[in-house]
Amino acid sequence: MKNALVLGASGGMGYSIAKELSNRGIKVTAFARTKKKLEQLFDNDPNVSVFAGDIFNKEDLRNAAKGVDTIFQSANIPYPDWEKKLMGFMSNIVKTAKDHSAKLVIVDNIYAYGRSPGIKVTEQTAKNPHTKKGKIRLEVEKMVKQSGARALIAHCPDFYGPNAKNTLLHFTFQSAVKNKKSMFIGDQSIQREFIYTPDGAKAIVNLALSKEAFGQNWNIPGYGVITGKEIVKMIREITGYQRSVATVSKNMIRFLGLFNSTMREVVEMFYLNEEPVVLDGEKYEQYIGSLPRTPYSEGIKATIEYIKSHN
C-alpha cells in the first residue's frame, strides 16, 4: 500500500486510521465534508493531504480516489437517513473502488449480528439482526460481497478515543472534563466492550496490508469487557471528578425520541446496553497476529487528555 483514501477522516476511527497510515509512511488523502476541520486535525502532517467533499457526490468520490490503491470506509450518516440513503451511499463507494481498481476496507459495527447468543461472537456466528438498522447493515454486507469488489469488512464494538466525539463514552468524558454533571448510557453494572480507536486503526491497517484478509469478515474486539462503574471510577482517578454520574435509561431515550428523530432511532439499539455483544478475536490472532489492546485505564486517560487539549 502506497496511497490510501480515508473516508470519514474527521471522525473518531477515520482520524485514527489516517494517523496510523501516516505513521507507517503511507500517503493519505483525508476525506470529509469540512476542510477547516480536516486542516485542524492533520495540520503539518507531511503524509496527509485533505479533500473536502460530499460523500454522496459521485464526482467528489472519483476525484478523491485518483491514484489511490486502498480506500478505507469509516464515514457514517445519521441514523434517520439509514433506511433511505445508506445502501446508495455504500454502493457509490463500492463502485468508486472498482472503477479505480482499489481495495476496499470497510469499518463496520456489530448491529448485523443481532442479539447476543450469550457467548463471544465469531466470524462464523450466524447473523440474525432483529433491528431495522441491523438488517440494513446486513443488506449492505451482502451487496459488498456480491459486487465483485476486493473488500474486507472489520466489525468493531463501540468506539472511544481521540477525536471520537459521536460516541457513547465521549459525552461522559466531556462532562467530567468540564466538571459538569455527567451521564452514562445504560445500566452501569453491566459489562460491555469498547475499542480504543488507535487500537482499532492498527488492527484494521494490519488487515489491509494482508492480501489474504480480503474477501473476508474480521472481528476486532477491544480490551475485554468493562462496567460503567469501573469506567466512572477510572474517570474520577484520572480527573478528580466528584460529581454524580446519572444513568440514562431506555425510557429516558424513548421520551427524548418524542422530540428528536435521532433519539427515536437510538431506542431500538438500546438492547446493546442490556445484553451486550462481545466479539471473539481468535481469527485475527491466528492469521494476522496479536491484537492491539490498550488497557482501559491507559486508553481513557489518553482520551481525556486529548479532550482537555482540544477544548
Burial label, 44 (beta-carbon count in 10 A; 0-12, 13-18, 19+): exposed
Cell 488497557 belongs to which residue?
295
- What phi, psi does 190 have (nearest 5°)? -85, 135
- Name the pLDDT band for 186 (thresholds 50, 70, 90): very high
Contact assessment for residue 38 and residue 50, using Cβ atoms and an 8 Å cutoff: yes
pTM for this model (two decimals) = 0.95
Q: Maximum distance among all alpha carbons in the chain? A: 55
How close are the terminal C-alpha atoms of the chain, in Å? 35
User: Does position 37 have pLDDT exceeding 80, yes or no?
Assistant: yes
**pLDDT confidence of residue 267:** 86
User: From CA 26, how far away is CA 72, in angstroms rounded?
Assistant: 13
pLDDT tens for 74-129 read: 999 998 899 999 999 999 999 999 999 999 999 999 999 999 888 899 999 999 99
- Name the pLDDT band for 265 (thresholds 50, 70, 90): confident
**pLDDT confidence of residue 264:** 80
Cell 459521536 belongs to which residue?
166
User: Does position 255 have pLDDT exceeding 90, yes or no?
Assistant: no
User: From CA 139, how far away is CA 126, in angstroms rounded?
Assistant: 14
**pLDDT confidence of residue 117:** 84
User: From CA 295, how far away is CA 297, in angstroms rounded?
Assistant: 5
Give the chain's domains with CATH numbers.
3-163+196-223+277-293 (3.40.50.720)
Task: Of 131, 140, 80, 136, give the one whose Cα is nearest residue 104.
Answer: 140
